Protein backbone atom coordinates (compact mmCIF):
# COMPACT_ATOMS: atom_id res chain seq x y z
CA UNK A 1 0.00 0.00 0.00
CA UNK A 2 1.66 3.22 -1.18
CA UNK A 3 1.56 6.37 0.93
CA UNK A 4 0.61 8.37 -2.18
CA UNK A 5 -2.48 7.22 -4.06
CA UNK A 6 -2.57 7.18 -7.84
CA UNK A 7 -5.11 5.58 -10.17
CA UNK A 8 -3.63 2.32 -11.47
CA UNK A 9 -4.53 3.14 -15.05
CA UNK A 10 -5.42 5.96 -17.39
CA UNK A 11 -6.00 6.15 -21.11
CA UNK A 12 -6.58 8.56 -23.95
CA UNK A 13 -6.49 8.88 -27.68
CA UNK A 14 -3.80 10.73 -29.64
CA UNK A 15 -4.19 14.47 -29.29
CA UNK A 16 -6.28 14.27 -26.13
CA UNK A 17 -5.43 15.73 -22.75
CA UNK A 18 -5.17 13.35 -19.81
CA UNK A 19 -4.56 14.00 -16.14
CA UNK A 20 -3.13 11.71 -13.48
CA UNK A 21 -3.84 12.43 -9.84
CA UNK A 22 -1.69 11.83 -6.77
CA UNK A 23 -3.31 12.05 -3.36
CA UNK A 24 -1.40 12.29 -0.10
CA UNK A 25 -1.62 13.90 3.30
CA UNK A 26 -0.45 16.89 5.31
CA UNK A 27 2.84 15.19 6.20
CA UNK A 28 3.87 14.62 2.59
CA UNK A 29 2.27 16.50 -0.32
CA UNK A 30 0.80 19.06 2.08
CA UNK A 31 4.29 19.98 3.33
CA UNK A 32 6.66 19.29 0.46
CA UNK A 33 7.04 19.66 -3.27
CA UNK A 34 6.08 16.93 -5.72
CA UNK A 35 8.05 15.37 -8.56
CA UNK A 36 6.75 13.24 -11.42
CA UNK A 37 8.56 10.48 -13.29
CA UNK A 38 7.92 8.66 -16.53
CA UNK A 39 9.09 5.07 -16.85
CA UNK A 40 9.15 3.30 -20.19
CA UNK A 41 9.26 -0.52 -20.11
CA UNK A 42 12.65 -1.87 -19.13
CA UNK A 43 14.19 1.53 -18.49
CA UNK A 44 15.03 3.71 -15.52
CA UNK A 45 12.54 6.43 -14.54
CA UNK A 46 12.91 9.84 -16.13
CA UNK A 47 12.26 13.13 -14.34
CA UNK A 48 9.30 14.96 -15.89
CA UNK A 49 8.27 17.55 -13.30
CA UNK A 50 9.88 18.84 -10.12
CA UNK A 51 8.95 21.41 -7.50
CA UNK A 52 5.27 20.77 -8.33
CA UNK A 53 5.26 22.43 -11.74
CA UNK A 54 8.79 22.88 -13.08
CA UNK A 55 9.98 21.08 -16.19
CA UNK A 56 13.62 20.07 -16.61
CA UNK A 57 15.16 21.17 -19.85
CA UNK A 58 14.26 18.82 -22.66
CA UNK A 59 10.85 17.86 -21.30
CA UNK A 60 8.14 19.01 -23.74
CA UNK A 61 5.71 21.66 -22.52
CA UNK A 62 2.91 19.16 -23.18
CA UNK A 63 3.70 17.94 -19.67
CA UNK A 64 2.59 20.10 -16.76
CA UNK A 65 2.20 19.66 -13.03
CA UNK A 66 0.14 21.26 -10.32
CA UNK A 67 -0.46 20.90 -6.61
CA UNK A 68 -3.28 21.94 -4.33
CA UNK A 69 -3.36 21.12 -0.65
CA UNK A 70 -2.60 17.43 -0.24
CA UNK A 71 -3.05 16.46 -3.88
CA UNK A 72 -1.06 16.87 -7.05
CA UNK A 73 -1.74 16.27 -10.72
CA UNK A 74 0.19 15.60 -13.88
CA UNK A 75 -1.41 16.73 -17.14
CA UNK A 76 -0.35 15.58 -20.58
CA UNK A 77 -1.79 17.48 -23.50
CA UNK A 78 -1.59 16.55 -27.17
CA UNK A 79 -1.20 12.91 -26.22
CA UNK A 80 1.23 10.94 -28.36
CA UNK A 81 1.81 7.21 -28.73
CA UNK A 82 5.26 7.54 -27.16
CA UNK A 83 3.66 8.82 -23.97
CA UNK A 84 2.48 5.29 -23.23
CA UNK A 85 4.37 4.50 -20.02
CA UNK A 86 4.12 4.25 -16.25
CA UNK A 87 3.97 7.52 -14.31
CA UNK A 88 4.93 8.01 -10.68
CA UNK A 89 4.56 10.90 -8.28
CA UNK A 90 7.08 11.35 -5.47
CA UNK A 91 7.58 13.59 -2.49
CA UNK A 92 9.12 13.71 0.97
CA UNK A 93 7.16 12.62 4.02
CA UNK A 94 7.96 14.38 7.28
CA UNK A 95 6.64 11.57 9.46
CA UNK A 96 8.83 8.74 10.77
CA UNK A 97 11.93 10.96 10.84
CA UNK A 98 11.52 11.77 7.16
CA UNK A 99 11.44 9.48 4.14
CA UNK A 100 10.93 9.57 0.42
CA UNK A 101 7.63 8.24 -0.83
CA UNK A 102 6.32 7.29 -4.26
CA UNK A 103 2.84 6.80 -5.58
CA UNK A 104 1.88 3.32 -6.72
CA UNK A 105 2.17 4.34 -10.34
CA UNK A 106 -0.29 4.89 -13.18
CA UNK A 107 -0.05 2.99 -16.44
CA UNK A 108 -1.03 5.27 -19.28
CA UNK A 109 -2.38 3.64 -22.43
CA UNK A 110 -2.66 5.55 -25.69
CA UNK A 111 -5.58 4.03 -27.53
CA UNK B 1 28.06 14.21 -19.37
CA UNK B 2 26.60 13.00 -16.11
CA UNK B 3 26.55 9.23 -15.78
CA UNK B 4 25.72 6.76 -13.04
CA UNK B 5 26.89 3.26 -13.91
CA UNK B 6 25.87 0.42 -11.67
CA UNK B 7 27.34 -3.01 -11.08
CA UNK B 8 25.95 -6.06 -12.80
CA UNK B 9 23.14 -8.41 -11.90
CA UNK B 10 23.49 -10.69 -8.91
CA UNK B 11 21.88 -13.89 -7.68
CA UNK B 12 22.05 -14.40 -3.94
CA UNK B 13 20.86 -17.06 -1.53
CA UNK B 14 18.37 -16.21 1.20
CA UNK B 15 20.16 -14.84 4.23
CA UNK B 16 23.13 -13.59 2.22
CA UNK B 17 24.11 -9.97 1.54
CA UNK B 18 24.45 -8.03 -1.69
CA UNK B 19 26.48 -4.90 -2.35
CA UNK B 20 25.56 -2.79 -5.38
CA UNK B 21 27.89 -0.09 -6.65
CA UNK B 22 27.09 3.13 -8.45
CA UNK B 23 29.98 4.83 -10.26
CA UNK B 24 29.38 8.54 -10.83
CA UNK B 25 31.07 10.66 -13.48
CA UNK B 26 30.65 13.96 -15.25
CA UNK B 27 29.96 16.08 -12.18
CA UNK B 28 31.27 16.87 -8.69
CA UNK B 29 30.49 13.68 -6.81
CA UNK B 30 30.37 15.35 -3.39
CA UNK B 31 27.91 17.98 -4.56
CA UNK B 32 24.79 15.84 -4.84
CA UNK B 33 23.10 13.32 -2.57
CA UNK B 34 22.73 9.81 -3.98
CA UNK B 35 19.46 8.00 -3.34
CA UNK B 36 18.65 4.32 -3.76
CA UNK B 37 15.28 3.19 -5.11
CA UNK B 38 14.16 -0.34 -5.82
CA UNK B 39 11.46 -1.88 -8.00
CA UNK B 40 10.21 -5.42 -7.54
CA UNK B 41 9.07 -7.24 -10.70
CA UNK B 42 5.85 -5.70 -11.99
CA UNK B 43 5.66 -3.36 -9.01
CA UNK B 44 6.16 0.32 -8.31
CA UNK B 45 9.12 2.33 -7.07
CA UNK B 46 10.23 2.12 -3.44
CA UNK B 47 12.59 4.61 -1.79
CA UNK B 48 15.32 3.04 0.32
CA UNK B 49 17.43 5.93 1.53
CA UNK B 50 20.12 8.43 0.67
CA UNK B 51 23.76 9.14 1.31
CA UNK B 52 25.51 12.48 1.36
CA UNK B 53 28.74 11.74 -0.53
CA UNK B 54 30.41 14.76 1.08
CA UNK B 55 29.92 13.82 4.72
CA UNK B 56 28.96 10.17 4.42
CA UNK B 57 25.77 10.90 6.33
CA UNK B 58 22.82 8.66 5.60
CA UNK B 59 19.06 8.47 6.02
CA UNK B 60 17.35 5.13 5.56
CA UNK B 61 13.71 4.19 5.09
CA UNK B 62 12.38 2.76 8.33
CA UNK B 63 11.64 -0.64 6.80
CA UNK B 64 15.24 -1.12 5.67
CA UNK B 65 17.26 0.56 8.38
CA UNK B 66 18.14 -2.66 10.20
CA UNK B 67 19.42 -4.30 7.00
CA UNK B 68 20.80 -1.59 4.70
CA UNK B 69 24.12 0.21 4.71
CA UNK B 70 24.95 2.99 2.26
CA UNK B 71 28.55 4.05 1.88
CA UNK B 72 30.74 5.92 -0.57
CA UNK B 73 34.33 6.12 -1.71
CA UNK B 74 35.05 9.65 -2.84
CA UNK B 75 38.44 8.67 -4.29
CA UNK B 76 36.69 6.66 -6.98
CA UNK B 77 33.39 8.61 -6.99
CA UNK B 78 31.38 5.53 -6.20
CA UNK B 79 28.41 4.98 -3.92
CA UNK B 80 27.42 1.61 -2.52
CA UNK B 81 24.26 0.05 -1.17
CA UNK B 82 24.55 -3.16 0.83
CA UNK B 83 21.44 -5.09 1.83
CA UNK B 84 21.81 -7.96 4.28
CA UNK B 85 19.70 -10.91 5.37
CA UNK B 86 18.21 -11.16 1.93
CA UNK B 87 14.77 -12.67 1.41
CA UNK B 88 12.95 -13.72 -1.72
CA UNK B 89 10.87 -10.55 -1.62
CA UNK B 90 14.07 -8.50 -1.98
CA UNK B 91 14.18 -9.65 -5.59
CA UNK B 92 14.09 -6.35 -7.47
CA UNK B 93 15.90 -3.92 -9.71
CA UNK B 94 17.91 -1.53 -7.56
CA UNK B 95 18.56 1.98 -8.86
CA UNK B 96 20.86 4.72 -7.69
CA UNK B 97 19.76 8.26 -8.52
CA UNK B 98 21.28 11.72 -8.16
CA UNK B 99 19.32 14.31 -6.25
CA UNK B 100 18.96 17.74 -7.79
CA UNK B 101 20.56 20.46 -5.69
CA UNK B 102 17.80 22.70 -4.46
CA UNK B 103 16.40 23.39 -1.03
CA UNK B 104 13.13 21.53 -1.64
CA UNK B 105 14.27 18.79 -4.01
CA UNK B 106 14.46 15.85 -1.62
CA UNK B 107 12.87 13.45 -4.10
CA UNK B 108 13.93 15.11 -7.33
CA UNK B 109 16.28 12.80 -9.16
CA UNK B 110 17.66 14.06 -12.44
CA UNK B 111 20.00 11.19 -13.30
CA UNK B 112 19.51 7.50 -12.67
CA UNK B 113 21.73 4.48 -12.95
CA UNK B 114 20.75 1.75 -15.36
CA UNK B 115 19.53 -0.49 -12.56
CA UNK B 116 20.89 -3.69 -11.05
CA UNK B 117 18.74 -6.81 -10.89
CA UNK B 118 19.18 -8.68 -7.64
CA UNK B 119 17.52 -12.09 -7.57
CA UNK B 120 16.96 -14.02 -4.37
CA UNK B 121 15.47 -17.41 -5.23
CA UNK B 122 12.95 -18.73 -2.74
Contact A28, A2 (CB under 8 A): no
The answer to whether B20 touches B7, Cβ cutoff 8 Å, is: yes
**B94 and A CB contact within 8 Å:** no
Return the pLDDT at B16.
98
Interface of B with A in 13-72 (CB under 8 A): 35, 37, 44-47, 50, 59, 61-62
Chain A interface includes B3 (CB < 8 A): no
Name the percent of chain B lying above pLDDT 90.
Answer: 94
Q: How confident is the model at residue B87 (pLDDT cuts 50, 70, 90)?
A: very high
pLDDT band of residue B103 (cuts 50, 70, 90) is: confident
pLDDT higher than threshold 90 for residue A97: no
Phi, psi of B31 (to 5 degrees): -95, -5
Considering only CA atoms, which of B111, B121, B117, B86 is closest in space to residue B34? Answer: B111
- pLDDT value at position A104? 97
User: Region A49-60: what's the mean pLDDT?
Assistant: 96
The mean predicted confidence, pLDDT, of chain A is 96
| Interface membership of B2 toward A (CB under 8 Å) | no
Q: pLDDT digit string (tens) for B6-62?
A: 999 999 999 999 999 999 999 999 999 999 999 999 999 999 999 999 999 999 999
Helix and strand tally (H, E) in chain B?
0, 11
SS3 assignment, position A79: coil
Q: Quick one: pLDDT at residue B81?
A: 98
Per the CB < 8 Å rule, is B102 touching A99? Answer: no
Amino acid sequence: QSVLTQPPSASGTPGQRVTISCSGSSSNIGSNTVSWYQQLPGTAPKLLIYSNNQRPSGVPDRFSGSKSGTSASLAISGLQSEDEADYYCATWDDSLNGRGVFGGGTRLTVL
Amino acid sequence: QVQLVQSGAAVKKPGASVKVSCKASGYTFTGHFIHWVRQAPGQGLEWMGWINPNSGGTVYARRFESRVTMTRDTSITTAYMELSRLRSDDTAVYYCAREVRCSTCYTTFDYWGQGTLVTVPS
